[in-house]
Structure 1
């Protein structure tokens, strides 16, 4: 299921502090609190799309900070504009490569949660090496979550779901590189109105009567 176009954001809108590049992210990461109004536990969403999850999560969880990472600049700008209009001081978005952020910037045991919702499945076999949920990234997730922290993974592609769980099982069997328990089941939430969904992809999938595959993994030691 491909992405749909987003509305244009007014060119004069000042998104300073809401829309970031890789170079705007703190290095060293210990200064990450400077991205927000208050130092709070941090969660990262990988592949934020139009930013519906960020809008909902920042409102529902004001005690946490949220960093969304979206490689497509137009989508990142749209999401940042909505966070600005909503007055969310606990959410920002970076237009860059999430895998690079985890690999080069995020230190051990620094995150409360990592969210990966409906990642690009890269359908062709020769392209599957481009999938976000690969061994290197999953190792970084296990490294950067604090004990008790959670990886949330949802997809509408059963093959992607099953193959990701197989990668996780293989990594856990081979070494302690991935100290995660799970998959733990996630109930399908009831939707009370037309935009009461985690993401726009979830909304489209469920309205089409198609299944969503959900799981959580918890970092050992919590």
Structure 2
């Protein structure tokens, strides 16, 4: 069930309209710098191979999608998918998502935040590194617009339960609202590559949705 190797990047493909590295950004940088049109903004934390960024930006041209991925090879792979489609309403950042959101995302401007299959950090001593922590949830609440949505999915039941318990401490977020598993009509009809891999191997996926009141 190992990951399939990424295809090599086309060296002639210009990624600059779709890709930047967080460490290169100025302190004054805002999300408006990444998009040509001002539209409702959705952020994906941990974009992996970029299936969500690719499909969501095509399905919703009236929205802007910002993906943040810490692994450079995956962030560039995501950006290359966007570049091949010339997807002007989607942009990839490489680096620390939580730090970027805390520093560069203004209050009440995000329509949805997507966190799909984050690293569970299995060892107990490493669990403080998990993305879903109190500090990040506080930032999520700060960034979301009224009725903005937090999507959280994982294949790790323990992580799911711990996160729901964490979110219970934030009455501003109503949920969890159930998310039905839809039937995939083709091989790209999944939320992420990871969801596809889990479902094809009959591994349960735990889904939740919270709405900012």
What TM-score does the superposition give when structure 2 sets the normalisation length?
0.95
Q: Is the 8 A contact 2:70 2:95 kept in 1?
A: yes
CA distance in 1, matches of 2:202, 2:140: 31
1:130-149 equivalence runs, <5 A: 130-149=129-148
Q: CA RMSD in A?
A: 1.6
Partner of 2:12 in structure 1? Answer: 12
1:165-184 equivalence runs, <5 A: 165-169=164-168, 171-172=169-170, 179-184=172-177
CA distance in 2, matches of 1:2, 1:26: 37
Q: Structure 1: 5+ residue runs without aligned partners?
A: 173-177
SS across alignment from 2:8: coil
Partner of 1:175 in structure 2? Answer: none
Larger mean CA deviation between 13-22 and 75-84 belongs to: 13-22
Q: Is the 8 A contact 1:33 1:39 kept in 2?
A: yes
SS across alignment from 1:37: coil
Deviation at residue 4 of structure 1 after TM alignment: 4.3
Partner of 1:195 in structure 2? Answer: 188
Deviation at residue 72 of structure 1 after TM alignment: 0.2
1:57-68 equivalence runs, <5 A: 57-68=56-67
CA distance in 1, matches of 2:34, 2:50: 18
CA distance in 1, matches of 2:28, 2:69: 21
Length, aligned pairs only: 213
Deviation at residue 126 of structure 1 after TM alignment: 0.6
The change in CA–CA distance for 1:104 and 1:3 in structure 2 (over 3 A counts) is farther
CA distance in 1, matches of 2:25, 2:148: 22
Q: Is the 8 A contact 2:49 2:75 kept in 1?
A: yes
Partner of 2:70 in structure 1? Answer: 71
CA distance in 1, matches of 2:191, 2:86: 19
- CA deviations over 1:86-110 (Å, ceiling 9, x no partner): 1211001000100101111111111
CA distance in 2, matches of 1:108, 1:61: 23
What TM-score does the superposition give when structure 1 sets the normalisation length?
0.91
Pairing 1:117–2:116 present: yes
Deviation at residue 167 of structure 1 after TM alignment: 1.1
Q: Is the 8 A contact 1:112 1:145 kept in 2?
A: yes
Partner of 1:49 in structure 2? Answer: 48
CA distance in 2, matches of 1:107, 1:42: 12
1:159-170 equivalence runs, <5 A: 159-169=158-168
CA distance in 1, matches of 2:90, 2:167: 29
Pairing 1:209–2:202 present: yes
Q: Structure 2: 5+ residue runs without aligned partners?
A: none
CA distance in 2, matches of 1:155, 1:94: 22
- CA deviations over 1:78-129 (Å, ceiling 9, x no partner): 0000001012110010001001011111111110000000000001111100
- CA deviations over 1:38-71 (Å, ceiling 9, x no partner): 1111110000001000011001111100000000
